[in-house]
Amino acid sequence: MNKRWESFQNSTQYRFVPYIMAGDPCEEATIELSLALQECGAAALELGVPYSDPLADGPVIQRAGMRGLGQNMTLEKTITLVSKLRERGLKIPVIIFTYYNLLLQLGENRFVTLAEENGVDGLLVPDLPYEESSYLREMCSNRHLALISLVAPTTHEDKLHKLSKEAQGFLYCISSLGVTGVRSEFRDGLSAFLHAARLNANVPVLVGFGLSSREQIQQFEETSDGFIVGSAIVNKIESLEKQLMSNREEAIMEFKHFIDSLLPVYSR
């Protein structure tokens, strides 16, 4: 575990982890948005890789992926982008969110080598089953990268126990079934699921998928160690696309105001 993860895991704050798409709407905007998120109190950053056939992404993130692809953003370019983020002052952990097909195309060995060289801290692969992840998990561990585990309300009790205990970085608890996207309400039993995940986890337990308001986030203060926001943030970036390309300073100010309005006071 590197120093960035140590700081993340030892934090006493309610952790905020945002998701944005690399290259949306351009590389420089991604850098400035990432720095703005850190300034607003992000404890870590999920950096998505554009992909033409995402399985877990709703329409908002799919459109962001298409904008990223339009900028010729690839997995390898996303990894090297992290090095640029570090040069510009990003100090929080960065988790690459990508699909397994892109990892296979690049090569798992090349990925972990590049990730270590460019300051990446973790990897999240939503379409890689835990049962088939041991090889990649070992490779990541040897390079001090956290392979983030996903669990859902439908995860069997025995498997939830095992994944919670073995989780690296943080345990990602999915609040809702289906693809990503803003939701107005969450299923019954979610609090019990989060409680069960925390019983055995040796890392912070974060809840994500669908959170889009301060009120929703506050619902989970007692049952989780932090939260992940993706679609609501990506949707805001989409609304600012033109300004981010032409009047970026003003757009970043509006973006930071939006993030501040989203976050509970205690997560900053």
**Cis peptide before 153, with omega less than 30 degrees from 0?**
no
Output the pTM of the full model. 0.94
CATH class of the domain whose range is 14-261: alpha beta
CA pair distance 79, 155, nearest whole angstrom: 31
Per-residue pLDDT 10s for the chain (268 aa) are: 799 999 999 999 999 999 999 999 999 999 999 999 999 999 999 999 999 887 767 899 999 999 999 999 999 999 999 999 999 999 999 999 999 999 999 999 999 999 999 999 999 999 999 999 999 999 999 999 999 999 999 999 999 999 999 999 999 999 865 444 444 455 567 888 999 999 989 999 999 988 989 998 998 999 999 999 999 999 999 999 999 999 999 999 999 999 999 998 755 5
Catalytic residue among 6, 24, 46, 116: 46
Catalytic residue among 57, 138, 241, 260: 57
Sketch the domain layout of the chain as residue ranges: 14-261
Give the 3-state secondary structure of residue 189. Answer: coil
What are the DSSP calls for 92-123, one per residue?
S-EEEE--HHHHHHH-HHHHHHHHHHTT--EE
| The token pair that represents 186 in the structure block | 């969450």
Kindly state the helix (H) or strand (E) to which residue 48 belongs, with its residue range.
strand 45-48
Among this protein's residues, is 132 annotated catalytic?
A: no
CA pair distance 44, 42, nearest whole angstrom: 6
Among this protein's residues, is 121 annotated catalytic?
A: no
